Homo-oligomer: A and B are copies of this chain.
Amino acid sequence: MTALHVLDLVGIFVFGITGALVGVRKKLDVFGIQVLALVTGLGGGFIRDVLIGVTPPTALQDWRYLVVPIAAGLLTFFLHPGIGRVERLVNIFDAAGLALFCVTGALKAINAGLSPFSAALLGMISGIGGGVIRDILSGRVPVVLRSEIYATPAFLGAGIVVVAAALEYNALWVPIVAALICFTIRLLAIRRGWNAPLPRHP
């Protein structure tokens, strides 16, 4: 059970919570909520593993990867707060999942032998994949396309990990700090309503 495993499982757990919360908000039943928790928790990793040629994906080879999102779904089903506060919680847990997945995705891509720039891109794809699947399935505009800083902090977090690896500096705190930076920027962007430039509309 390496640090990479732990970060991966925590990422799956928090993404699973966001899927279940969106299911609660859409008034799905317990099974619909479980399905959303599973696909949101595992979706980004499935895309990542298929793209780097790791098949079957890790989540289908290790039972812990299945227990974690199911537990996240059940916990959310029984303990979720009132609907009014759901959306804010979705955003916070989603930021945590984004931060953890971009870092673990970049590490797995490096292990698979991808070049630094490609590894950073795959980290970003891993980070945004689960949320995109969750939002499309539940009929929301994908968060990555809404007018907020989302893909950029994921690319930044993945990039920090990739640069450290290219410099052969493999301390454990690098992925943790990279995830914290991604998480903090994403949360600040939500809280302060940061927006990136819009195109001119003549």
What CA separation (Å) do A23 and B66 show in the bound complex?
A: 35
Instruction: Check if B60 sits within 8 Å of A121, measured CB to CB.
Output: yes
Q: Does A173 contact B (CB under 8 A)?
A: no
Binds B, one of A8-16, A25-33, A162-170: A25-33
Q: Which residue of B lies closest to A113 (CB)?
A: B56
Instruction: Check if B61 sits within 8 Å of A28, measured CB to CB.
Output: no
What CA separation (Å) do A170 and B152 show in the bound complex?
A: 43
Instruction: Check if B144 sits within 8 Å of A32, measured CB to CB.
Output: yes
Q: Which residues on B sit within 8 Å (CB–CB) of A145?
A: 23, 26, 28, 32, 35-36, 137-138
Instruction: Check if A60 sits within 8 Å of B118, measured CB to CB.
Output: yes
Instruction: Check if B51 sits within 8 Å of A51, measured CB to CB.
Output: no
Instruction: Check if A146 sits within 8 Å of B32, measured CB to CB.
Output: yes
Q: Which residues on B sit within 8 Å (CB–CB) of A188?
A: none
Minimum distance in angstroms from A136 CB to a CB of chain B: 6
Instruction: Check if A30 sits within 8 Å of B60, measured CB to CB.
Output: no
Instruction: Check if B61 sits within 8 Å of A51, measured CB to CB.
Output: no
Minimum distance in angstroms from A66 CB to a CB of chain B: 6
What CA separation (Å) do A63 and B23 show in the bound complex?
A: 39
What are 28 A-B contacts defined by CB distance under 8 Å? A24-B199, A27-B147, A27-B199, A27-B201, A29-B196, A30-B196, A30-B197, A30-B198, A32-B146, A34-B151, A35-B128, A35-B145, A46-B51, A50-B55, A51-B57, A53-B56, A56-B114, A60-B114, A60-B121, A60-B122, A61-B114, A61-B118, A63-B115, A63-B117, A66-B121, A80-B199, A82-B202, A139-B141
